Amino acid sequence: MFRLSGYFSAVMMLRFIHFLLFSVSLFLFAAAAEKPPREANIAYFIQVSESTITLLPRLLKVLWHEKNLYVLHFDKKIPKWQRDYSTRSLLKSAKGKKNIVIMPSEVITYRGISMVINSMNAMQTAKDASTSWDFFINLSGSDYPLISPANQRVLLGEQDFISRRRSFFSISNREWWAKSKKFRFSRLFTDTSLSMNGTQSELLDPFQKQPLFNRIGFEWVAAESWMILHRSFVNYLLTSGPSRRYFAAFSYVAEPEEHYFATVAYNTPQFNDTLIRAAFRHVVWVHNGKHSGQHPYHVDDVDSKGRWKFKDVVENSRCFFTRKIQKQNSQFWTGSTRISAVSVSPRRKILWKRI
């Protein structure tokens, strides 16, 4: 009887241990399920021009998050009184928000190397201002978020993006690579803002051949100028010898902002494998079979009957941002429940397609 009683005691003990382990497992599983997702810290760089300066307050209002960094640049071609007024208004409304940094104004030439220089200066400014951000996103004043900054932090916080140091570019198809190289690299284009006289801002084409056109030993890459860069790649751009050589090669290129960054990433082995061919920027170039031309369509345009032309495609784009916006107080954003929810419901459900 003693042996039998001992046997049952041992069985009961084992059952108790199994129950205890099962309970602990359930507790740990529940704790893991309730654990908030990892979030990435983001440094946003907003390039503000004379045509977009009135759009900035609304953009900042819906994009601001206390754990992100915001680097702003006002083109020096904007009248000084307007820059000063906007800066004062911004600082007044942003009182107590220490994560907004305003860069000294520089002259920017659209389609010139000064676009790249300004972006690189912004990257350095972001590095000096904070050591905590993971990704750098460049914007213009005419961009508008389709996903709340809180959701952008969660999406970019995915383990694959962080651990593999992912960078995101809207890279064009390879057919356009050769064509864009011919159009933009075959001649010596000069950005007159390099004169540093404070007034010149023009891209000159003297129709002189580029001596390097048939001699480069790297792959020319075509992309859009909008990107999401991992901090490690930003560090490489700012500090490495090869990136400086690439910069020199692109100094007399037309629209270098669409080629320099993507070309450096593509031709550098340590970053080539980290590229994602999507920058999550919604841009409308073609509508009803008609190409917009040099600039994209404005997504807050209305048709002859007063209806929003691009409402459906914007809402279903699955992108972080859309562009271009032209109206300061457009009702487009308040008339669309999914888009207006960016500012009122930061944790709203979104459509997300895994890469």
Local confidence band at 307 (pLDDT 50, 70, 90 cut-offs) = confident
CATH number of 37-280: 3.90.550
Outline where DSSP puts E strands in the chain.
Answer: 42-48, 69-74, 100-102, 135-140, 144-145, 167-171, 190-191, 203-204, 223-230, 275-276, 281-283, 286-287, 290-291, 321-323
C-alpha to C-alpha distance for 264 and 261, rounded to whole angstroms: 5
Mean predicted confidence (pLDDT) in 304-325? 80
Instruction: Kindly state the average pLDDT of the residues 267-288.
Output: 88
* Residue recorded with tokens 């941002």: 321
Give the per-residue pLDDT at 182: 95
- Which pLDDT score, from 0 to 100, does residue 303 have? 75
109-155 residue pLDDT tens: 999 999 999 999 999 999 999 999 999 999 999 999 988 999 999 99
**pLDDT higher at 261 or 334:** 261
pLDDT digit string, tens, across residues 208-260: 999 999 999 999 999 999 999 999 999 999 999 999 999 999 999 999 999 99
**Which helix or strand (DSSP H or E) is residue 262 part of?**
helix 260-267
pLDDT above 80 (res 186): yes
330-341 pLDDT, tens per residue? 766 665 545 544
Residue 354 pLDDT > 70: no
* The one-letter amino acid at 166: R
* Structure-model confidence comparison of residues 354 and 85, the more confident one: 85
pLDDT of residue 352 exceeding 60: no
Q: Pick the more confident residue, 343 or 323.
A: 323
pLDDT, average across residues 45-59? 93
pLDDT of residue 199: 76
Maximum average pLDDT range among 79-93, 255-269, 279-293: 255-269
Cα R_g (the chain), whole angstroms: 25
The phi and psi torsions of 168 (rounded to 5 degrees) equal: -120, 125
Q: What pTM was estimated for this model as a whole? A: 0.84
Q: How many CB atoms lie within 10 A of CB 322?
A: 24
Pairing of the two strands 69-74 and 42-48: parallel
**pLDDT of amino acid 21:** 46
